[in-house]
Amino acid sequence: MDALIAEFERYLRVERNCSPHTRTCYLREVREFGDFYAKMRKKRPEALTLEDLAQVDKLVVRAFMSGLYRRNTARTVARKLASLRAFFAYWVDRDKLPLNPARLVSTPKIGKAAPRYLNVDEMHALLGPDEESASTDPLKTRDRALIDVLYASGIRVSELAALDLGHVSFEYGTLRVLGKGARVRTALIGERALGSLRAYLDLRPVLLAQATESTDALFIDRRGRRVSTGQVYHIVRRRSRERLGGRSESPHTLRHTFGTHLVNEGADLRSVQEMLGHKNIATTQIYTHTSLKRLMAVYDGAHPRARLDAAPRPKPGEAEEDE
């Protein structure tokens, strides 16, 4: 199956122009199915052929998904199913397989949960000043700058890891970002984050001295190599545990925080959509949920005839019970 996956990777890279992060996700999830199906066929995964894949039906796909539900959320299972559909669709389109069995399986229902985000005080705690010694520590200075950039710009973790030195404009306060689908956009970044970035760049040569070769990567690890998305997750989780009473937050929480704070302060959705790099404004509309809750709280607390029975207002999307 290795040769089949390699050809699929080329299709994602050349024809669909998928980002490295997207390709990695697709291939990882296809390999996961390959490992599962190889056990069913009592073969090694690399020995699977198109003839083997032609025997896959919706029952096999359902069995695979059943195992996924034991350790994954519905959203994750849906994403893995989408990767599998894309893989089989590639071979069906080239008349190498008769049908796409993953298309015969329903996508898991995903509830529209409000995005997890930090309030302003929590962000101040997360980005608060470090101890005096941290100002000369290149890793601690990098960590603070990294988190500051994530919150200030709202960019994705994969976009941050891909930033190069030349992608930052201190003059205009912008970042040149390579987003999903290899779409390039300009992200804005505030003065405070730029200040954190300058402090880190002053110490970046200390980290670069450990490298075996030079790199243009903006954020580098202790060995002078470009940070990976996994390392960024680790950095954010570690600092949030230290600063937020043991809570472990993710880079995506900072992206949600960026969008939520903008909408709560009156930014229009179209502008937020552009800043976040959302292709569809429907994706951006999740941030109106928290904004509506805030407006309800203000109204209920300020208007004398808002809630005569003093009962709490139902949350957006919930109906009050009939009496």
Catalytic positions: 156, 180, 252, 255, 278, 287
Q: Judge whether 118 and 151 are in contact, CB under 8 Å.
A: no
CB-facing half-sphere around the CA of 177: CA atoms within 13 A: 27
DSSP SS3 for 29: helix
Distance CA 321, CA 149 (A): 45
Listed in sequence order, the DSSP H helices in the chain are: 2-10, 20-41, 50-53, 58-69, 74-93, 120-126, 138-153, 157-161, 191-208, 229-243, 251-264, 269-276, 281-284, 287-302
Q: Judge whether 145 and 242 are in contact, CB under 8 Å.
A: no
* 166 alpha carbon, distance to own chain's centre: 23
Nearest CA to 230 out of 123, 140, 158, 318 is that of 158
Q: Judge whether 140 and 199 are in contact, CB under 8 Å.
A: no
User: Burial letters for 60-82: b for 16+ Cβ neighbours within 10 Å, e otherwise?
Assistant: bbeebbeebeeeeeeeebbbbbe
* Residue 51: exposure state from Cβ atoms within 10 A (0-12, 13-18, ≥19): exposed
Q: Judge whether 126 and 136 are in contact, CB under 8 Å.
A: no
